[in-house]
Amino acid sequence: RSTQERLSGALERGEFFIVYQPKVDLQTGVIRDVEALLRWRYNGEVIPPYRFISLLEQSREIIPVSNWIATQACRQIAEWELQGYKVGVSINVSAVQFKDDEFCDMIAAAINEVGIDPRSLECEITEGLLIDNVSEAVDKLVQIKEMGVRISIDDFGTGYSSLAYLRQFPIDTLKIDRAFIKDIPHADDGTIASSIIVLSKALGLNVIAEGVETDEQIEFLKHHDCDEYQGYYMSPPVSPEEISVLLERHN
């Protein structure tokens, strides 16, 4: 059977689960937020998202799956709060989900059903999503933002968003793509990362570096006044229980 066929009904069968990757404050070392990342357990094997997200988008099954992820993320926020940890959770928003008419209502429903502080939830949007239909994207992001939900631009620097667009969207955070972090402190890559940090500061935005693995990268980012980092240096994406252990250690 094809992957598409095996994927059909995976949500109902409970084959999806979510792992979380910490985002760390570079000055204090505190874990403030985590990113929710989807996994599919099939036949005892864990299948990474690049092998099935686009299939879920093609079948539009990404919509119920994303609704489930949003609700799970809100429940996890509430669970960590019960354990005494205040931590924000970001979810990745796919193009199909973002363009759906119900997008804003579904985010509101997840927040209200669980009863969390909306500021604990963040939507990660890619640049491509924004330039497709600018006025529609502005409308939706303004709605999301008015609820109190935070908004970040994922993989920043790899898309083609003009800098002028950035000011039109109610964005909180830029996430510097791993491609601009991986060769620090060699090559010119540090120049792009530090430029994005300067740009973020000038626009009054938070800035976070993705894919941070080494001491040199940490030093570089601290020196250039980056706000947060995410990457294997702290932890790969892990279970909620493992996040609780990390929160205890880094709070």
- Asked if 170 is part of the footprint of ligand G (rule: CB under 6 A), the reply reads no
9 binding ligand G? (CB under 6 A): no
User: Contacting Na ion (CB under 5 A), which of 100, 124, 177, 227?
Assistant: 124
| In the complex, least distance from residue 84 CB atom to ligand G, rounded to whole angstroms | 26
Q: What CA–CA distances, in Å, run from 163 to 31, 72, 126, 139, 168?
A: 30, 34, 14, 19, 10
Q: What are phi and psi of 40, to 5 degrees?
A: -125, 120
Site pattern 58..97 for ligand G (x: CB under 6 A) = -----------x----------------------x-x---
Using CB under 6 A, which of the segments 49-57, 73-81, 134-142, 238-246 binds ligand G?
49-57
The answer to whether the beta carbons of residues 142 and 178 sit under 8 Å apart is no
Site string for ligand G, 182-221 (x = CB under 6 A): ----------------------------xxxx--------
For residue 249, the tally of other CB atoms under 10 A from its CB is 9
CA atoms of 196 and 226, how far apart (whole Å): 9
Number of residues that bind ligand G (CB under 6 A): 20
Return d(Cα 196, Cα 155) in angstroms, integer.
12
| Contacted entry of ligand G, Na ion, none for residue 155, CB cut-off 5 to 8 Å set by kind | ligand G
Could you say which DSSP state residue 119 is in?
G
